[in-house]
Every structure is written in C-alpha cells, then in structure tokens.
C-alpha cells in the first residue's frame, strides 16, 4: 500500500453513525466533537483521520500530532484506539509501531503519527505537522491549542490543515469560549462543531443498550454531573460541594453495622489539624464513616499510637495517607502497618468527591454524629462563587483556604475502599470505583 489515494470500503464494523458520519468528510480547519460518556468521540476522530489518508488529503510524508492530557490517558486510551481502528484489524494503515515514552506509528505513504501528553505543551515548539488531534481536550490548558496551532505548517499552502478536538466538557473553559459560546466562538466556516448526548448515542447504536442507565447510577438525572458526563453540557459548579443531608446521611439513632472491610484515611498537619478517619463498607455496599480524630498541632507519636489502637480494635485492612507524608508513611510501615500513599492522579480529588456525592444521592453513605469536624467541613465546603472558565481540576473550582483536613482524610480512605467494594460486588449491579 503505497499509493497516495487508498480506495477501499469501510468494514461493516466501522459503520459510522450520527456525528461520526458527518465529521468523516469535514475539511474545516477545526473540528470539535463533544458529548457525554461513550458517544464515540475517539472512534470518530480515528475514522476521520483514516478517511483523510485514504482520500489522499493527508499528504505523503505528513506528520500527525496526537495528544492526551496525561501519559497514561494517552497510552491506554487514545493510542490504544488509534491502533485498534487504524491497525491491521481496522483500516490497515499502520506499518510499524514504535512504543516507549514517545510512541510513534509509521503509516502508509510515509505518514508518521506521534503521540505526546499535554503536561508540557512547550515540547511542540519547532514542530511542523499537517494534522493535530487533542483528545479529552477539556483536561488540557489553552496553551496546548495555541502552541500546536503554530505547528500546522508542514507543507505551506499546499495542504489541508486540521486540528481535531474531542472531549467531554469540563465547565465553561477555553473550549466553550472558542467553539461553543455564540458571543466568542470562531466563525462557523472555520469550525465543524458536533455534539451528542449519551442517550442519543445509545439510541442510534453508538454505545450499547443500557449504558445510559448504568451511568445514571453514579450521575443521577437532574444533577450537575449528569448534565456534564451524560448530556455533555458545560456546567458551572456553584454553592456547596457536598450533597450532605443530615437526616439522610447522619440518622439518629446511629447504629453501626458489621463491616466487610475497613480502611483508614490520614491527613497529616503541622500547624494545621491532623485528621484520621475510619470508613467501613457493610454487606449492602453502604459506606460508613464512624471514627474521627481531629487535632491541631498533633504530636505524630500520639497519632501513631491512636492508629495502632484503632488498627487492632477494628482490624483495619489498609491505611491511606497523604502522598506528601513520606516520613510518616515510612514510620507506619516500619511499625508493621499496611499503609499506602493517596492517589496522585491529576484530578483524584474531583473523582473521589464525585463518587462520595453519588453515594449520598443513592442513600449509600453514612457519617456518624461522632465525626463533628468532618460534618462541619462537608457542610461548609464551597465552590468559588465566580468561575473564570479556565478551571481544569476540582481543586481549581473550590474556594481556597477552606477547612478540608477531615475531607482529605475521607478522600484518602474512600479511594481504596471503593476498589474493595467493587471486588466484593463483582458480578452485581454497582457503581464505579476509583482507579
């Protein structure tokens, strides 16, 4: 396969639907395909790029720059899909695969696709490419678009240049301003805009039957997260972060059940309070916060003594500690505790808070009245009153300098416990767990 134009019908498994079929032929300078979960955004971009190669619109010797928000997302998501749909089991356009920290795919006609993460957009300076694809673009800063735009110059005036953006929205950020907001978006002649919700995608066969209902277990209809993750809308989060209801989530009398597993969360403070939280999961998969330690200027040895007492009394399966507390974690390991550092993912806080809120909305979360510091923090923890639109992570969206020490300890415990709960409920209808 060396000809500049590859004439071949798409396989039956490549049948394109809705926005996928429309953007397949779109030659405008920018394409933005947004929507809820599972609406075929990545597939649509892959097939569009493959179609341009087969039609000869991507020139021989062209370079394609593909970027994901982080290296794991790029490698496990975008690159895996690229290989699936454009490799030998798909369009059969990939001749050689080069993996490692800077993967490349050498394709027909001397075309090369190379894959990078968006954590350092300056790495694109000096590059010359014909096609740019930013996958999950809402998780990137607008610098990525600005710098990659400057690299679209490989063949001078003699090529079709395109930047393809695929994403589930993350608030009214730069993507919304440049491609959605009628008052600030670029001219339609320069931009192809496509939007589809998860229910619409399910109705036309892009995602499997029942997928929307499964997502709605964690993103209930009417919630802000439902609008963002399922309807693909730009949501401005305001007001209280947690959907805590004292009557529902801290009922009286508070009778602690028998637990299948217990995990402890630890947030170490110096001048700020140190918080230790115990969370258990019961036979029905409900999460119970039932012990709390909260002390300003706490003595680390006294904290470790308390942890030891709780560890023996409650048979704690694991302790999860702030990722920055390396010394304390080392001391705990030396003492024989099962301890791990908290998640370091880019928006681990946001993922865990969304999970906690989904538990509350499903009546699967309990906080003991004996945890007053956590209850106080949850009731007062707020989003910023005015969002700039450029916020990317959860921590960008909340007011700074709020008391959140017990909240952090809760987050550290919830993440590993969610995986334990998912393992216990394997084969049953359950919500998501935190990776």
Distance, in Å, from the CA atom of 59 to the CA atom of 183, rounded to the nearest integer, reads 35
What is the assigned CATH class of domain 246-424?
alpha beta
Q: How confident is the model at residue 126 (pLDDT cuts 50, 70, 90)?
A: confident
pLDDT tens digits, one per residue of 247-262:
999 999 999 999 999 9
Structure token digits, residue 295: 């002390």
The answer to whether 408 touches 276, Cβ cutoff 8 Å, is no
* Cα-to-chain-centroid distance, residue 69: 9
pLDDT of residue 163: 97
Please give the C-alpha separations between residue 131 and each of 20, 29, 104, in angstroms, as whole numbers.
Answer: 18, 10, 14
Q: At 420, is the pLDDT very low, low, confident or very high (cuts 50, 70, 90)?
A: low
Separation of alpha carbons 424 and 415, rounded Å: 15
Residues of the chain with CATH 3.30.420.280: 246-424
State both tokens at 365. 């979360």
CA distance 165 to 41: 9
Task: Find the mean pLDDT for residues 5-24.
Answer: 68
- Under CATH, which number does the domain 12-229 receive? 3.40.50.300
Nearest to 107 by CA among 96, 116, 98: 96
Numbered ranges of CATH 3.40.50.300 in the chain: 12-229
CA 262 and chain centroid, separation:
26
Match 């597939």 to its residue by tokens: 43
| Predicted local distance difference test score (pLDDT) of residue 431 | 45
């Amino acid at each position: 396969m060396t000809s500049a134009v590859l004439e071949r019908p798409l396989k039956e498994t490549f049948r394109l639907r809705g926005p996928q079929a429309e953007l397949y032929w779109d030659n405008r300078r920018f394409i933005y395909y947004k929507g809820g979960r599972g609406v075929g955004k990545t597939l649509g971009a892959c097939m569009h790029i493959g179609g341009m190669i087969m039609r000869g619109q991507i020139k021989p010797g062209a370079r394609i720059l593909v970027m994901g928000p982080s290296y794991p997302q790029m490698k496990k998501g975008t690159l895996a899909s690229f290989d699936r749909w454009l490799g030998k089991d798909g369009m059969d356009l990939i001749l050689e695969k080069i993996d490692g920290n800077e993967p490349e795919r050498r394709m027909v006609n001397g075309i090369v696709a190379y894959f990078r993460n968006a954590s350092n957009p300056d790495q694109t300076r000096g590059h010359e490419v014909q096609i740019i694809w930013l996958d999950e673009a809402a998780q990137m800063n607008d610098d990525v678009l600005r710098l990659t735009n400057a690299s679209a110059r490989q063949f001078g005036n003699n090529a079709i240049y395109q930047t393809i953006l695929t994403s589930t929205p993350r608030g009214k950020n730069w993507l919304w301003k440049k491609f959605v907001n009628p008052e600030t978006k670029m001219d339609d002649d320069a931009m192809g805009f496509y939007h589809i919700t998860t229910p619409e995608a399910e109705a036309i066969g892009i995602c499997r039957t029942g997928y929307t209902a499964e997502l709605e277990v964690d993103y209930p209809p009417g919630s802000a997260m439902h609008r963002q993750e399922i309807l693909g809308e730009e949501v401005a989060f305001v007001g209280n972060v947690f959907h805590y209801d004292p009557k529902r989530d801290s009922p009286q009398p508070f009778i602690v059940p028998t637990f299948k597993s217990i995990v402890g969360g630890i947030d170490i403070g110096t001048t700020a309070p140190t918080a230790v939280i115990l969370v258990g999961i019961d036979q029905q998969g409900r999460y119970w916060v039932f012990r709390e330690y909260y002390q300003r200027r706490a003595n680390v040895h006294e904290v470790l003594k308390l942890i030891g007492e709780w560890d023996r009394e409650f048979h704690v399966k694991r302790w999860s500690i702030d990722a920055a507390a390396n010394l304390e974690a080392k001391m705990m390991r030396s003492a024989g505790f099962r301890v791990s550092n908290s998640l370091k993912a880019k928006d681990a806080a946001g993922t865990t808070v969304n999970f906690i809120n989904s538990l509350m909305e499903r009546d699967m979360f309990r906080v003991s009245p004996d945890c007053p510091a956590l209850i106080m923090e949850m009731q007062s923890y707020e989003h910023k009153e005015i969002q700039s639109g450029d916020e990317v992570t959860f921590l960008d969206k909340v007011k700074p300098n709020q008391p959140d020490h017990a909240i952090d300890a809760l987050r550290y415990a919830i993440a590993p416990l969610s995986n334990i709960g998912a393992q216990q409920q394997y084969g049953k209808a359950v919500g998501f767990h935190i990776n």
